[in-house]
Structures are given as structure tokens and as C-alpha cells.
Structure 1
Amino acid sequence: MASARTDENPYVEEPETDFRPVEELSEDEAGEQAEQLREAIRFHDYRYYVENDPVVADRTYDALFTRLQDLEDAFGLRTDDSPTRRVGGEPLDELGTVEHVAPMLSIDSSGEAEDVREFDERVRRESGTERGDDLRYVCEPKFDGLSVEVVYEDGEYVQAATRGDGYTGEDVTENVRTIASVPHRLRGDYPDYLVLRGEVHIPEAAFRKLNRERVERGEDPFANPRNAAAGTLRQLDPSVTAGRPLDCFFFDVLDSSYEFETHWEQHETLPEWGLKVNDRSERTDDIEDAIDYRDRLMADRPDLDYEIDGVVIEVDDLSTCAELGTTERHYRWAFAYKFPARSEVTEITDVTVQVGRTGRLTPVALLEPVDVGGVTVSRASLHNPEEIAEMNVNLGDEVDVERAGDVIPYVAEVVAKHSEGHYEFPDHCPVCDSAVEFDGPMAYCTGGLACVAQLRRAVEYYASDDGLDIEGLGGERVDQLVDAGLIEDSLADLYRIEEDDLVALEGWGETSAENLLAELEASTHPRLRDFLSAIGIPKVGPATATDLAREFGDLDAIRTATREELESVEGIGPTVADQIAEFFASEQNEHVIDDLLEAIGPLETPRATETGDELAGLTFVFTGSLDGYTRSDAQELVEDHGASATSSVSGNTDYLVAGDSPGQSKLDDADDEGVPVLDGREAFEENLREKGVEP
């Protein structure tokens, strides 16, 4: 294998980018060049993400990466550990679950220095360390991101999972694979087995850029970097994850075939293996130095490019940590010293109104930019029209801006009134000029699916798991199709897209175009209940859609049903009945639905042979991977026969169905509530047969 040294690899410190055409290369030449490029890209990733000292310009790196993609596509050379896997693999049906190698527990915390000193006293008392004896601590920033477990075997990346309940988490292997700071292959003299805890986050500068692009496209911005990172990491389409600027710090070794003696040794060794650690971590000689570290880091917080809400202080010596052990929820050898909440006063310069998928209008204050705890804030939520009236807030007023959860900017109160009255909420949609209706404190655009702002998110929802489950049609691809004019004013435009239209777009090829068109073809003639859920009727999700389909039997009957008839359906109250009736009464929605039905053909309506009420009144919860069923298949099976399928265990749950790698929290809840557990497919199907349902 070619090494990454300049004298052996022509693509490292002074890379050649004037490549011969791919078609002129032999298979041997292509294979050799591809391997050199992989090694070079890994080297440059290490210099950029770990050493923070890149040796080539971004455009040069991009040229190397593109060349590798071209070679792998032309000669079928793609490998499991190739850097090109970072662009994302095939979409997943659902995220599976993974049992952690070691528990990923939480950390006890406080914002008071005295509590930190009490932690030190307890550690000394329980470890037998006398006052005055050395007791070193490692201090690190407390990142406001998403914890993950990452596993390497023989130096190769093999698995990643979210923290979940601390004992099992969601399998996010393919999504974490797309994060450039998570190496596919370790460097140096790495151990045979290594399990790490890391924190996935979105850097502040990248988050602001991401939100700016979303707002410019007419989308709602993400509330905060943590939520954006969490949602991105749980995407079923890894290509969506790859398109978001995720980053990862590693800070703890959960298990390893290499024996460490201290946490600080871990911190110093991980970069040698190509793993990114935080350069603001320090080792201190006593607890007072640790408290001083927190104060210094809080002062430097404005200059950091990542969100933190405190510091983590952990005992350095690992044998002492093992002696201290854990509680059921917390490590006894670690403590989080939190920062105080943040707020600042600034002036409102304007108010903009954003339109969401369901037509909900959200007012956002545009602010004179202000530094709030180290982050420049220029926009903040005004909540809703009712809140605006209660605060009596208007343009020109000075307001107190806070960051809820230490992150989300919002207007808390008016501190100096420089205007008369409050901001008058518009009576027409700022996007489509349709009338605005008010429902309690909320405001909604009545344009429905004919409103372009709603159409973008309506298409995304139509293709989601709760809709028709069209793989490969996530938010970014929907935006691309709308921006290209392929979706203009109707969901039906999806079914008018041709292969040439897609291939002409950036990032699309024949294979991805064919895959999407095949998915769209497979979504024609959907079941009535899936269609009802997919078209975005306010307050109608899969469960309510199932009830409507079962009660009325066909779409025309639902479209013409009165409020009283709708309210007679079990589980549908006056508010939901009004929403359904108003949705179908809209002329714009009527046009869009008729157009859509023309494109997809007749719906599959419930048939007596497929449905029944054998399970009526029962509630099922599913956890883990059930052999032979996807999660949605199993839920639909019980719902087809009158049962409800919910996501959490409660006193109303009749059965918890547990497949492979079940969530420990659901099993614990079932035990607490006395809920019977059906262990695996055989027990599940036997239970159904006992009730007259043939799986």
C-alpha cells in the first residue's frame, strides 16, 4: 500500500491535479492511483481535522476527492473504508438499535462552586485520598451536542450508535461514516479493539451558514446547533447527513485492548491514532485549579466555534475511577460545572413572518446584532401573535434576548418602549397572499398546498415515513427540485419529473435518478390511510388517518363528510373535525388533490379481508428489530385489526413487543407498569393467532 509520504505519494504536500482522462487509464493504473488518492485524502483529513494545520487549499483537496470518485465509479473500485463513503450510502428503512459495549451514563451537575468542592470531598472520602494528597483532575469543555459510541476493530471503523437510554442506542453507523472528522481507518500503532465516546456537533460558523441558507430558501431555521445535529444524525438518508456540517470530538475510551492508566493519557494518545480531541482540555493538580479552569473557559467562550454550557471535571487516575464506580445514572468520578444562563438587551429593527409546512405563521424579530454569551444573535423568536400582544412589543423597542436551554434565542420582555402599541400581525400570507386565520394564539395561512412555502415542506412530509415513505426524497433534495422548477405548484409535479430532469441537476447521476423514479412509481396507488396521512391535513397523522379510512372506506366520503360525521369517528374531537373539514373545503386544496389523484391513480381502500376489529381496544408498543417485520409493518398489522400502536409504554399499554436489541428503558417501563412482554416474532404472532388474527 502506498504511504502518505511526499516522496512516495504524488498527491500529498504538492499534489498533482492535472490528471489524465479516466478512459485512458488501465485497470492497474486506476487501482494504483485510487489507493494513492485514498491515502492522500486520509492524510489531509488528519492535517485538517486533528492537527488543525492543512497543507493544501480546499480547491486542491476537492480536486483529489472528485478524482477518486471518478476512478471508483468508472472502474468499480469503491472500498468500504474509502473517503468517498462520506457522501452517504443508500437510504435506510429505519434506524436499528445497538446495545452499548459499556454504559454511557450522564454526569451530575451544578452551577455552584461549593457543589464542585463537595464533589472533591466525596471523591477523597470514598477513594481514601487525604486532603493535601495529590488528586489530579482532567477538565474539558462540556459540549452541547449529541453523544455517540464509535467502535473500531483492527483499526477499521465498524459501528456507531447514539447514547439512547445509556444502555442501548440507535444505530447511526452509516450517518457517522459521513463525518469527515471520524476516520474510517486509524493511524499509527492503534489497538486491535477500541470503543470511544464522542460528541457530534455543528460548529457555530457552519450552523449560522446552514441556517442562513435555509432562511433564504424559505425554510424554518434550525432552533439551535444541538437540535440540528441530533436531527441530522438520525436521518434515514445518509446523503442528507453528508450534506450537513457535522463534526466530532472524542473524549473518553469506553473499552480497548490497549490499557490506559489515566484520562490524560487517553487525551494525548487518541490524536496519534487520527482521532480528534479538544485542544482546550487541561489537567489540573487540585479542585481549585479545576474551578479556575471553568472561569477561564467561560471568559473565552465568545471565541469558541462550538457550543458549550459548562465544563466536565473528571478524576484523572483510571484505577481510582474504577474504585469510585457509578450510580444507576451517573459516573461517581465526574462532575459538570455549568455556566449561568445568558441574556442581552438589543433593539428590534424589523419583524419577518415565516410559513411552516402546515401553514403556521411564526413571527421572528430581526435584531440589531448583539453578542449573547459569545454568539452573535440577529434573529429571535417572538413566539406567536398572542405573545406579541401580551408583551406589547414593536419595531424600535429595546428587548431582553435570552437563549432558552442556553441556545435558542427568543425575546423575553420589553425593557424600553420606543413605539406605540404592538406589532400588527399580517392578515395575509407573506408568501402567497392568502388570508390568515387565527386559532387561539396561533396564526395560519389558508393557502394550503397552493402556498409555495407550504408546498416545499408538504412534499418533504408526503415522502416521509408518516407519508408514502419515498426513499431518497429528503428536505435538501426537495429544495433542489423546487429551486430547479421541477416542482412548481402541486404535489403531482413529483410524478411529472423525468430522468433527464434529474440527471441535469448537481449531485445526480443515472442511478440516483432511476432509483427515485422507481420509488415514485412504487408510491402510486397508495393505501387510503397512507394517502390521508401524506397530504398534510392539520392534526391528522397515521393513527387518525387509519381511523378515517376504516370508518369511511373511501376518499370521496371523507372529502364530503360533515363536521358532525367526522366528529363521530372515535378519537376525533371537534377541533380535529374542524381542521379536516376546512382542509377539504379549500378550493386550493381541492385542485391539488384532484391533480395528485390524476397522477397516481386510484387509492387502495380497506377491504374486509384485510382488516377487522379483533384487536380493538388494545395498545401495542414495539421495541428492537423484529425478525421478518419492519417497525411500520408490525404497527400496521395490529392497526389493521383495530389496535393502537404507540411509541412509549404507559399504564394503558397492553403489550410490549420486544425484538432484537430492545430499548432497555421500554423494558424497564413495562416492568414498572406490569405490561406483558412478547419476546420476539414467534411470541408476537402466537398472541395474534390467539385473538383470531392470522399474521
Structure 2
Amino acid sequence: MTADPSRPSDNPYVSDPGTEFTPVDELDEDPAHEQAGKLREAIRYHDYRYYVEADPAIGDRAYDALFSRLQALEDEFDLDTEGSPTQRVGGEPLDELGEVEHVAPMGSIDQGGEVAEVREFDERVQRGLQDADYDGEIQYFCEPKFDGLSVEVVYEDGEYVRAATRGDGAVGEDVTENVRTIGSVPQRLRGDYPDFLAVRGEVYMPREAFTAYNRERVENGEDPFANPRNAAAGTLRQLDPTITAERPLAVFFFGVLDSSVDFESHAAIHEQLPEWGLRVCDRDDLVEDIDAAIDYRDQQLAARDDLDYEIDGVVLKVNDGDACDLLGATSRAPRWAFAYKFPARKEETTVRDIVVQVGRTGRLTPVALMDPVEVGGVTVTRASLHNPSLIEELGVGPGDLVRIKRAGDVIPDVVEVVEGNGDGHFEFPDTCPACGSQVERDGPMAFCTGGLTCPAQRERSVEHYASRDGLDIEGLGEKAVEQLLDAGLVENAADLYELSVAELAELEGWGETSAQNLVDELDAAREPALEDFLTALGIPQVGGVTARNLAQEFGSFEAIREAAEGDDEPSDGQVTLGDVVGEDDGQAAFEAFESVPDVGPVVARSIVDFFRGEGNREVLSRLLEHVDPQDADQSTGDALEGLTVVFTGSLEGYTRGDAQDLVERAGGSATSSVSGNTDYLVVGENAGQRKRDDAEANDVEMLSEDEFVELLESKGVL
């Protein structure tokens, strides 16, 4: 076996390292310095073996132990960490990304997707070199065209000093601290490195890591990234380097922008970069003519789905450096390079993973995470599978080739399995992926029973509580709620009322005035109308109309809660109506709610489940310490007694809710759907056709808004 010349000698942490260390507080300074030096040397070697050679010398656990030990030594003895591998964990947050002028232009290259365009490029190269009296052999260096974010990385005396995005080609964003956290970017070059080196690389998120990261986002109730490139770009531009450090980025280096050494060819650059510890892609090839270059492109196209990184074509470069100098460049691109693009993926793609997203109401929606595919002119990487029943019907699972359909500006659907390459269809979980609560099936749908305590529902429930459909608390939009949750100030709606001006004012983007305004808004929301409070709670299946009907029927929040909870005291977590139906109290609760207008068996069950959930009961108890829902006025006249009215479209003089209140307070019934029992359908602006069709089918009289007002006036309601 040939000895590895790059392997550090006399270093105990290189091969089979021991990870039982003397406690740092028992070490003297000199031994600590010596050990830290050995650890840095060994970790750099292991980084090289892992990222560049793809042949790790030790396991992940041993590496993590060495890394943690180095961090502990640096912290305990206040060691200089300049250039240390521990700088990958991220530094202090930045106020903004600065600008950096590149050492050499980072231009784009000409591109095309047709073979005729590639041959035209070759003809231009041939003519240009003939005119320049070049008599050498024209070879092409071929490499994948990575679909990531291009960066310039600069080393001085072998030390990493800065990194910048491509920007406009002359000036880019300073992403030095973020790029420093990427494991495949060495902090110090290896071997006989040049005094100065500026290299060009492509930062990307590996496909497996991208799928896993998107799975985590979806399960946490966050929107997934559209594709790996967007994920990489968004991560690299974070103002907080610790966020970048937590995300799985990698880099391939493929060019030299400037150096104190010269290179004869692109192939020579590709061979040299790994010797300095810079990772390159191993799918390059040096070919003799344009026909072989075209063949190379076709080979990469066939292999693209098997790679752990996205490529959208190949780059063909005239290999010889002198020939490139003779060809020169136009104002925007070199004449010696061409990007031969792949055709966009169309409609058929491979499912990489299936994850379950938890909505605000607890509904679980399976989502397919896929290789990027063009559907209706838009590139997508996820598609809805809607519910567990559809998964079973399609028989779809990870690894399958599927056909995608996109209707309008919505998430596309998986419509069929073209080729089943997986191990059978995806098995829907029995427990919520976000909180571990039991999953309850309702026909084809599935719901998490965790309620207000489920973290995936938590952010949406707080947003909904403060939204216009809830208590309409100004200043508590999506971004503000996310910020409060991230800061650990809020876990549920009850925490909102315990916020202080001082706490809020410390948040980024807040000041004393905005903090005081929010506290005042929250104080003003301490005595909400009962129907508004019920709507704000986000009880599954309970919208504004149902909440109004519940308020009218029961009069107070306490009456509703008592009707749902009955005399039982759930003690073993979530109790569903299915557990208690058959018992007198459970059946009574079911019947009490089903008797309310617009409440059927499914909605009744949802209400009882919500109030009987142990976590929901705890949150509600805390919430009622701060909020006093006002009893509903149950007194009504009888001017419209016996009349049932349905509304469709928007009214000019009333909100839909106000109009329904008028009807109900006068003894009538305002329902959401037209049936044979409906007396009037009030048709406003932009009304839907379905209710009008139902009215005609059931011989229901339709009124305009003016005619509705005339009816109220004639009955003495107005």
C-alpha cells in the first residue's frame, strides 16, 4: 500500500484517534496549545479526505469528538481561532452584506440547447484560431454546468481571506463569513500553494440534503424551498452565518480567476486544484473534437437523475490556454467557452420523498418532493398528494416516476405513476410528524389531534388568532408572529397578552413606539365578542358563520365549553368523540352541537374533540386569564321568524356577517347553503353561480341587496 504523502506525521488524531480526553480545566496552557495545533492539523486532513478525496479516514462520531474537543480548548484558553476549522460554526450576525470588487471579471458564457448551436460555436473557434495562425490541436475540456450560485474565493499565502457572489460580474456581495462555514471550502490551502489565488466555484445544496431539509421545513409548517439553487442562494445571503452553518451547502471549484502561477490548460487547472485542497467534480473529460463533446453532453443528460447535485447542461471549453488567449472575449462572454444546456424536464419526474405537512386546522396533507420538472411553463419540485386515500389509490412512493399536472397558479398534483421504482406506496403515519399526537382519519382526510399544542399548528394558530378573520390585532402579521416565536416570546395565543414593551422593543426592526402600539392593540382585544373569539381559536371546521350560530345558541363561552366537556375529566391526553360516543355524556355533547344550525356530525365531533384535548384545555385556561369573551345577545325579535336566508357575493351596505346578524336577531335563520327549506337567496356583487343554480333548482326566490333591504324595512327590522 502506497503511503499517503499528505497525511500528517506523528499526529495521534489522524488514524484511529482516541476520543477520551483529559478535562480541559485540568490542562496547562502549553499542552493545550500543542493539542489544539494537532487537532487543527488532523481536522484539516480529515476535511480533505472527506470533501476532496471522498474517502474519509475516520467515522463521523470520531470526527465530531475531535471537533468538539478543539472548540473546548479554544474557548477555555482563549486561543486565536484565525483560520481554525471551528470557524465553520459561524460568526456574529452581520448588519448587511457589503460589496466586493472581483480580482478579475466573472463573466457569463454563451449558451444554447440545440446541437446546431454547438456546431456553430465550434466553427467560430476554428475560424478564430485559423485567423490567429494557431497551429495547435483543438481539444475541448468538458465539465457539468452546475445549477447553483457562482462565487469567487480568494486565498493569500494559502489562507482563506474572502468570498463574494458573482453579482454583476465586476462587483459581488461579500459572503466571506457565510462561505467560511462550508465544509468543502478549506480555510488553508495544502501543499505547494501559490502566494495568491482567486478561484471560481459553484455553491450548491446536495439533492439528498435538499430533500431532507425541505422535509424538515414542511413538517415544521414552513414553505419548502422551490429548488436546490434557491435554497443555496438564500442560505448564502443570510446575515447570520450561524444559519448558513446549519444548512447543508457544498461547493465545486472549476476555474482560476487570478493566480501567481500560470496554467497551460483547463485540464491542468482541474488536476491542480485538488492538490491544494480544493474540491472538483469528477465528471470532467478532455475530448478530441466537437462530436465527442456532444457525446459527452448526451452522457451527462442520461446520468443527471442519478447525481446528488443539480446540473442543467455541460460547459465546453477550448482546453489550451494559449488558444483561449488568442480567441479572447466579447464584451460579455469568452469566445472559447459554450454552455450546452439540457432540455427542461417536462411533466414526468421522480419522487424523491413524501412528507406530511400539518395545516393550521391540523389537517395532514402529504406532499411529494421531486426532481425539478417543468409544468405549464413553471419549474416545480413539489406536488400535492392531497390525502392518504389518494396515495393508496395511486400506489405512489419515493423512487417512482410520476406524471405531474398543474392547473392554474396552484401547487401541482401527482396524477399517475408512470413507473414504479420504489418499494410500494408511502405508508401514511399514525402519529403527527410535528408533535407525535395520534392521527385521526375522517373519510379520506387525516387530522392531527394535538390542537393548540402542536408546533406545526402553533404559528398558524397564533397568526389566525390575530388575523382579520380572528380578533384583527393590527401589527401581528405573519412576519411579526414568526419573529415572536423564533425569539421564544410566544408559544401560543395566551402568551401574546403577557408581552411587554421592553421585550418587544429589543427585537430587530422594533422600537418603543411600535412595541407600545402592539401592547395597546392586545389590551383592546381583551373583551372580544363571543363569535369573534370562537372564530379566532381556529377550531377545525368552525368558521365565522358557525361561530355566530354557536354564540347565538349557547350565549356564553362557558356554556359552550361545558357542553363540549360534559362531566368527564380527560386524564390520559387527547380524547376524541369516538372514544365517548355511547356514553350518556358523550352522546349529549354530540347532540347539543348537532342541533345548532349549520352544525352537522363532522363539525360537532370537531368541536368536542377540540375542547376535550388536554393541551387545548391548558391553553384555553391560560387564555381566559387574559381574555373575557363577551356573552352574545340572544334576545331576538320575531319579525323574520320561520324565514331562512342565504347570502352569496359581497354586499355594499353590510358585511356578510352583519347581514346574517340582522336576520338572526329578527328571529330568522342565516345558513350557508341553499336547500328546499331556503326562503330567500340574497345575491350581491361577484356572486358565485352554484348557489344561484341551487336556488333555481329549489324554486327559491332571489333578492338583490336593495330588495333585501326593502324586505327588512317591510318587516320592521330596519
Q: TM-score range by the shorter chain?
A: 0.5 to 0.7
Match of 1:66 in 2: 68
Alignment partner for residue 479 of structure 2, among 461, 471, 474?
461
Q: Which amino acid aligns with 1:181?
A: S
Q: Which amino acid aligns with 2:68?
A: T
Quick check: 1:235 aligned with 2:238? yes
**Matched-pair contact (CA < 8 Å) for 1:42–1:83:** yes
**Matched-pair contact (CA < 8 Å) for 2:159–2:187:** yes
| In structure 1, C-alpha distance between the alignment counterparts of 2:286 and 2:33, rounded to whole Å | 46
For residue 128 of structure 1, give the secondary structure of its aligned residue in structure 2: helix
In structure 2, relative to structure 1, the CA distance for the partners of 1:310 and 1:93 (3 Å cut) is same
Deviation at 1:14, TM superposition (A): 2.6
| In structure 1, C-alpha distance between the alignment counterparts of 2:381 and 2:94, rounded to whole Å | 35
In structure 2, relative to structure 1, the CA distance for the partners of 1:133 and 1:112 (3 Å cut) is farther
For residue 163 of structure 2, give the secondary structure of its aligned residue in structure 1: strand
Deviation at 1:302, TM superposition (A): 2.5
* Greater Cα offset, 46-55 or 344-353: 344-353
Match of 1:187 in 2: 190
Deviation at 1:236, TM superposition (A): 0.7
Match of 2:249 in 1: 246
**Matched-pair contact (CA < 8 Å) for 2:200–2:257:** yes
For residue 332 of structure 1, give the secondary structure of its aligned residue in structure 2: coil
**Matched-pair contact (CA < 8 Å) for 1:202–1:226:** yes
Match of 1:526 in 2: 511
| In structure 1, C-alpha distance between the alignment counterparts of 2:56 and 2:176, rounded to whole Å | 27
For residue 139 of structure 1, give the secondary structure of its aligned residue in structure 2: strand
- Normalised to the residue count of structure 2, the TM-score between the two structures is 0.57
Match of 1:264 in 2: 267
Alignment partner for residue 27 of structure 2, among 25, 28, 31?
25
| In structure 2, C-alpha distance between the alignment counterparts of 1:151 and 1:311, rounded to whole Å | 25
- Output one character per residue of 1:334-360: Cα deviation in whole Å (capped at 9) or x when no partner: 11111122245599999966659xx99
Q: Which amino acid aligns with 1:22?
A: V
Match of 2:610 in 1: none
| In structure 2, C-alpha distance between the alignment counterparts of 1:127 and 1:557, rounded to whole Å | 78
Match of 1:278 in 2: 281
| In structure 2, C-alpha distance between the alignment counterparts of 1:347 and 1:148, rounded to whole Å | 30
| In structure 1, C-alpha distance between the alignment counterparts of 2:330 and 2:405, rounded to whole Å | 32
Match of 1:650 in 2: none
Match of 1:693 in 2: none
* Greater Cα offset, 250-259 or 121-130: 121-130
Deviation at 1:108, TM superposition (A): 1.6
| In structure 1, C-alpha distance between the alignment counterparts of 2:498 and 2:46, rounded to whole Å | 40
In structure 2, relative to structure 1, the CA distance for the partners of 1:257 and 1:146 (3 Å cut) is same
Match of 1:157 in 2: 160
Deviation at 1:144, TM superposition (A): 0.7
Quick check: 1:86 aligned with 2:88? yes
| In structure 1, C-alpha distance between the alignment counterparts of 2:350 and 2:62, rounded to whole Å | 44
**Matched-pair contact (CA < 8 Å) for 1:155–1:193:** yes
Q: Which amino acid aligns with 1:283?
A: L
Match of 1:97 in 2: 99
Q: Which amino acid aligns with 1:66?
A: S
**Matched-pair contact (CA < 8 Å) for 1:152–1:159:** yes
Deviation at 1:311, TM superposition (A): 0.5
Q: Which amino acid aligns with 2:480?
A: Y
Match of 1:110 in 2: 112
Deviation at 1:31, TM superposition (A): 0.4
| In structure 1, C-alpha distance between the alignment counterparts of 2:248 and 2:358, rounded to whole Å | 24
Deviation at 1:487, TM superposition (A): 2.9
**Matched-pair contact (CA < 8 Å) for 1:83–1:184:** yes
Task: Kindly name which structure, 1 or 2, has the bigger radius of gyration based on alpha carbons.
Answer: 2
**Matched-pair contact (CA < 8 Å) for 1:199–1:249:** yes
**Matched-pair contact (CA < 8 Å) for 1:495–1:520:** no
In structure 2, relative to structure 1, the CA distance for the partners of 1:67 and 1:381 (3 Å cut) is same
Deviation at 1:530, TM superposition (A): 8.1
In structure 2, relative to structure 1, the CA distance for the partners of 1:94 and 1:351 (3 Å cut) is closer
| In structure 2, C-alpha distance between the alignment counterparts of 1:236 and 1:291, rounded to whole Å | 42
In structure 2, relative to structure 1, the CA distance for the partners of 1:132 and 1:400 (3 Å cut) is farther
In structure 2, relative to structure 1, the CA distance for the partners of 1:79 and 1:118 (3 Å cut) is same
Deviation at 1:242, TM superposition (A): 0.3
For residue 310 of structure 1, give the secondary structure of its aligned residue in structure 2: strand
Match of 1:448 in 2: 463
Alignment partner for residue 216 of structure 2, among 213, 217, 225?
213
Q: Unaligned 5+ residue runs, structure 1?
A: 385-391, 417-423, 435-443, 497-516, 536-553, 561-581, 599-695
For residue 68 of structure 2, give the secondary structure of its aligned residue in structure 1: helix
| In structure 2, C-alpha distance between the alignment counterparts of 1:306 and 1:205, rounded to whole Å | 8
Deviation at 1:447, TM superposition (A): 6.3
- Output one character per residue of 1:14-43: Cα deviation in whole Å (capped at 9) or x when no partner: 322121111111000100100110000000
For residue 491 of structure 2, give the secondary structure of its aligned residue in structure 1: coil
| In structure 2, C-alpha distance between the alignment counterparts of 1:319 and 1:151, rounded to whole Å | 24
* Greater Cα offset, 178-187 or 158-167: 158-167
| In structure 2, C-alpha distance between the alignment counterparts of 1:521 and 1:370, rounded to whole Å | 42
Alignment partner for residue 169 of structure 1, among 172, 196, 201?
172
Q: Which amino acid aligns with 1:121?
A: E
| In structure 2, C-alpha distance between the alignment counterparts of 1:347 and 1:297, rounded to whole Å | 17
Q: Which amino acid aligns with 1:461?
A: K
Q: Which amino acid aligns with 1:114?
A: A
Deviation at 1:204, TM superposition (A): 1.1
In structure 2, relative to structure 1, the CA distance for the partners of 1:140 and 1:519 (3 Å cut) is farther
Structure with the larger RCO, 1 or 2 (CA within 8 Å, 6+ apart): 1
Alignment partner for residue 293 of structure 1, among 291, 296, 299?
296
For residue 39 of structure 2, give the secondary structure of its aligned residue in structure 1: helix
In structure 2, relative to structure 1, the CA distance for the partners of 1:303 and 1:169 (3 Å cut) is same
For residue 243 of structure 2, give the secondary structure of its aligned residue in structure 1: helix
**Matched-pair contact (CA < 8 Å) for 1:103–1:166:** yes
* Greater Cα offset, 197-206 or 3-12: 3-12
Deviation at 1:461, TM superposition (A): 3.0
In structure 2, relative to structure 1, the CA distance for the partners of 1:370 and 1:104 (3 Å cut) is closer
Deviation at 1:13, TM superposition (A): 1.6
**Matched-pair contact (CA < 8 Å) for 1:145–1:225:** yes
| In structure 1, C-alpha distance between the alignment counterparts of 2:236 and 2:330, rounded to whole Å | 29
Deviation at 1:73, TM superposition (A): 0.6
- Output one character per residue of 1:480-500: Cα deviation in whole Å (capped at 9) or x when no partner: x59xxx73446749969xxxx
Match of 2:529 in 1: none
| In structure 1, C-alpha distance between the alignment counterparts of 2:43 and 2:281, rounded to whole Å | 22
For residue 41 of structure 2, give the secondary structure of its aligned residue in structure 1: helix
**Matched-pair contact (CA < 8 Å) for 1:342–1:403:** no
Match of 1:511 in 2: none
| In structure 1, C-alpha distance between the alignment counterparts of 2:223 and 2:180, rounded to whole Å | 27
Same amino acid, percent of matched pairs: 52
Match of 1:56 in 2: 58
Q: Unaligned 5+ residue runs, structure 2?
A: 419-441, 453-458, 527-543, 552-618, 627-718
* Greater Cα offset, 291-300 or 314-323: 314-323
| In structure 2, C-alpha distance between the alignment counterparts of 1:26 and 1:40, rounded to whole Å | 21
**Matched-pair contact (CA < 8 Å) for 1:96–1:170:** yes
| In structure 2, C-alpha distance between the alignment counterparts of 1:233 and 1:425, rounded to whole Å | 44
Match of 2:123 in 1: 121
- Output one character per residue of 1:488-546: Cα deviation in whole Å (capped at 9) or x when no partner: 446749969xxxxxxxxxxxxxxxxxxxx9997466972546888x99xxxxxxxxxxx
- Normalised to the residue count of structure 1, the TM-score between the two structures is 0.59
- Output one character per residue of 1:149-196: Cα deviation in whole Å (capped at 9) or x when no partner: 111111110110111121211110000000010000001111111111
Q: Which amino acid aligns with 2:208?
A: A
Match of 2:491 in 1: 487
For residue 292 of structure 2, give the secondary structure of its aligned residue in structure 1: helix
Deviation at 1:95, TM superposition (A): 0.8
Deviation at 1:278, TM superposition (A): 0.6
